[in-house]
Structure 1
Amino acid sequence: MSYNTREKWTHRLHEIIFEADTKAGKTFDVILIFSIVVSVLVVMLDSVAEYRAMYGDWFYSIEWFFTILFTVEYFLRIISVKKPSGYIFSFYGLVDLFSILPTYISILLPGSQYFLVIRILRVLRVFRVLKFTQYLIEVNQLQKALASSRRKITVFIFTVVTITVIVGSLMYVIEGTENGFTSIPKGIYWAIVTLTTVGYGDISPQTNLGQMLSAVIMIMGYGIIAVPTGIVTVELSRAQPKGRSTEVCRYCSREGHDSDAEYCKYCGGKLNA
C-alpha cells in the first residue's frame, strides 16, 4: 500500500470514527453508543444473582462479543490518528482502554469484569454525535469557570476543614465519651455531617452547651453551602462563549476548537489534515 493510499485510508477512517459531521461518522457513533448502552446493561444484569443463574452463559458470550468489538475499535482509533500517544493518553483514550481491560483481567481475577460499567462514560460522545455544539460550549464555559475559581474553592475547602477540626475537638471536650464522642475524629465526623446539613442522627450532643454549638454549626452550614455556588457563578458570568466545532484533531485527539479554526489550539496541528 503506497503512502498516499494509506494516508487517504487513515484520513477516511478518522473521519468515520472521530467526526460526527458526516453521515458515515454519525452512523458509526450512533451504533457505537447503542453497543455501549447494551453492554453496560448486560454487565448490570449479570450482577443480579437470579439473572446470572438463568442467563449466565448468554451474558458471558455477549460480554466477550462487545469486548472484542471495542478492542478492534480501540486499535482502529490508534491507527487513524497521526499521533497515537495523543489519543491513547487523552481522556477518551483512557476511558476506551479501561472499558475493555476488565474483561481480559477477569480471566485471572474473576469478578473484575463488573468494572466494565465504566463504559457508560463513553456515552459522553452523544454530545458530539447529535451535534449538540451548544452543550459543548456550555461544558467549555463550566471548565473555564472551575479552573478560574480553583484557588478560591481551595481556600474555602481549607477553611471548612479547619472549622470541622476545631468544632469536632470542642464537641469531644464538651460531650465526652459518655455521649458518644469517643474521640476527636469521631467529633470531626459529627461536625462534617452537621455542617453539610446531612444529619445522620447516629451521634448527637446531649448537653446544653453542646446543643447550642450544634445549632450554630447547622445555621452556619446553610450559609457555607451557598459560597462555592456563588464563586462558580461569578466565574461563569465572566466566561464569554465562542462558537465551537465538533472536529477532532488528528494529532492530539482533542476537540472544542473554534468554528473557524484551521489549526488545533492545543498542539498546532492542521485541522482536516
Structure 2
Amino acid sequence: MVNGGVLVSQDLSCAGQVSLSAALPVLGACGLSPTVLPTAILSTHTGGFGENTFLSLNNEMAKIMAHWQKVGFDFSAVYLGYLGKRALDFWTEKISYFKQKNKLILIDPVMGDHGQLYRGIDENYVIKMRNLIKSATILTPNMTEAAFLLGKKATSNSLKTATEFAAELSSQFGVSNVIITGISLNKEKIAEVGITADHSWSLIQKKLPGNYFGTGDLFASAFFAAVMHKENLEKACSIAADFVAQAIRETPKQDSRLGPNYAAALPDLLKRWSNN
C-alpha cells in the first residue's frame, strides 16, 4: 500500500483563497500529506466576481481514482468540501468504499450562506447531498446548509436553534458528530455548536469586522487538521475558530473576495503540534 495521507476533494478556484487554495496549504503545513482530487476548475469562486468559468473534472476524477486503486494508494481520512453537481454524483457512488474501511470522513456540505443557496446549487443538489452525508463521520454545515438539509428555514441564529438543528441532523442522517459553524448571534458575537454521541457544546467568539470569502474553508481545514492530530472535537473547533480569527486580524486592507491572510496565522497553528 502507498500512504497517501489524507484525501481532500473539492474545487480549485484559480482566484480567491477558497476551497483547495485554502485547504491544501493548511493541511500540508500541518503535516497531513494531503492528496487532492479536484472536482472542478473555476476561474474564480462564485461570490461576487460575476460569471465565472466552470470546468467539471468528473470524468478525470474517475480515471484518477482508478489509477490510485491500481497502485494501492491508501488514505487515513477523507475531507470533502465544495463538490458541484457531477462530483456530488461521483462521491455518492464512491464514498461507500471508504466508509467500509472505517476511514474518518469529514463532509463540509458547502451549498450556501445567509439563507440562500450559492449560484449553481438547486434543490436537487440538496436532495443528493442528504444522501451523501449519511456516510459522514463528522458533518460541518453552517446554519443555512443545516436548514436546507433539514428542509427548514433558519428563522433564528440562536444557540438553541443551532443545537436543535445539530441534533436533528445527527438523528435523521445517522451522523454521530455534527458541528454547526459560523452562527451569527448578533453584530458582536459568532458561535459554533457541536453535538456528539455523548455530549453537546457551544463556543462563542467576538465577531471581527469584515466579511471575507473562504473563512468557512479555513475553519473546516484547521478543524480537520486538529482532529487528525487527535484533538477532541470541541477543542478542534476552538483551535479552528482561533485560527480564522487571527487570519482576519492579520489581513491588511484588501478586496474581501480574495479571502483572509491565513499565512500570518499558520505559525501559531503549527506550534500546537510541533512536538508531536
TM-score, normalising length: structure 2: 0.24
**Structure ID, larger Rg:** 1
TM-score, normalising length: structure 1: 0.24
Relative to total residues, which structure has the larger strand share, 1 or 2?
Answer: 2
- Larger RCO (CA within 8 A; separation ≥ 6): 1
Relative to total residues, which structure has the larger helix share, 1 or 2?
Answer: 1
